[in-house]
């Protein structure tokens, strides 16, 4: 099956893609394009999937840059093809043509950044912990340090869990209220004492607070569309042993 690659017009002409699970070599609960080296899928199959992504991005497999994601605000600057262990961080930035930056997600937000004029790109993994820690702001700041201008940076959030399917408890809501009561706008009333959290809504706010004007979300919900996307939360609800990881990538 051919790979399915979602793109955002706002990021053109920079080469990029939010890859769905379609077109991969994995099977079973991982069926499709599972690119998670940390999953319990067969390692050689995951490498085949990642090689297909690299080919689609027109880069060598070792030029598909990655990080060991830990829900932090840390950003890694990638200048050459990687060898050895990936740095522990949740965002990558580069000015090197021919290097692709990739992020793995399965409900969290993959965010791709580009200042095409300055030749600076970035990619970030942003769940709620990373958002509150400042991973998006740090990605933008690192891009600026490398020559980008905030007014020229475009950022697009890819497929992630939507508010309709992100149910949380009252303690989650209270943790946000302690930080800032204005965060209440990202919560809607659910069943009983449950609340529904708007992850991409908060992501868009954080991008605007970082000084960006050109921001957007593709509008795809990972939880709602099992045929196209992996979802950690859906896998948990279905009591599955593991889950696949989607990949998003960008390249100068």
Q: Is residue 245 in a domain?
A: yes
Q: Is residue 200 in a domain?
A: no
pLDDT in tens, 106-143: 999 999 999 999 999 999 999 999 999 999 999 999 99
Q: Is residue 182 in a domain?
A: no
pLDDT of residue 138: 98
Using 50, 70 and 90 to split pLDDT, how confident is the model at 157?
very high
Domain that holds residue 237: 5-160+214-251
The number of distinct structural domains making up the chain is 1
For residues 186 and 200, the answer to whether their CB atoms sit within 8 Å is no
What average pLDDT is seen over the chain? 96
Q: Is residue 135 in a domain?
A: yes
Q: Is residue 179 in a domain?
A: no
Q: Is residue 232 in a domain?
A: yes
Q: Is residue 208 in a domain?
A: no
94 contact partners, CB below 8 Å, separation of at least 6: 65, 77, 78, 79, 101, 120, 121, 122, 252
Q: Determine the Cα–Cα distance for residues 58 and 53; give it in Å rounded to an integer.
A: 9
The enclosing domain of 145 has a CATH number of 3.60.140.10
Q: Is residue 226 in a domain?
A: yes
């Amino acid at each position: 099956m051919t790979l399915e690659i979602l793109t955002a017009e706002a990021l053109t002409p920079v080469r990029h893609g939010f890859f769905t699970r379609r077109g991969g070599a994995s099977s079973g609960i991982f069926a499709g394009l599972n690119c998670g080296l940390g999953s319990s899928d067969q390692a050689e199959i995951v490498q085949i999937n990642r090689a297909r992504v690299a080919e689609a991005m027109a880069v060598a497999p070792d030029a598909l840059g990655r990080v060991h994601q830990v829900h932090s605000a840390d950003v890694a600057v990638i200048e050459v093809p990687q060898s050895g262990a990936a740095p522990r961080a949740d965002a990558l930035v580069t000015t090197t043509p021919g290097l692709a930056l990739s992020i793995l997600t399965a409900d969290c937000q993959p965010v791709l950044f580009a200042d095409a004029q300055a030749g600076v790109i970035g990619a970030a993994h942003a769940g709620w912990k990373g958002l509150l820690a400042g991973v998006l702001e740090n990605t933008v700041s690192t891009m600026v340090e490398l020559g980008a201008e905030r007014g020229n940076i475009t950022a697009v959030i890819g497929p992630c869990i939507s508010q309709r399917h992100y149910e949380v408890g009252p303690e989650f809501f209270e943790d946000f209220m302690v930080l800032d009561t204005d965060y209440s706008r990202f919560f809607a009333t659910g069943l009983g004492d449950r609340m529904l959290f708007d992850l991409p809504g908060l992501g868009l706010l954080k991008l605007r607070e970082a000084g960006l004007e050109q921001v957007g979300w593709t509008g795809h919900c990972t939880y709602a569309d099992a045929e196209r996307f992996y979802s950690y939360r859906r896998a948990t609800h279905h009591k599955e042993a593991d889950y696949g990881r989607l990949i998003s990538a960008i390249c100068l």
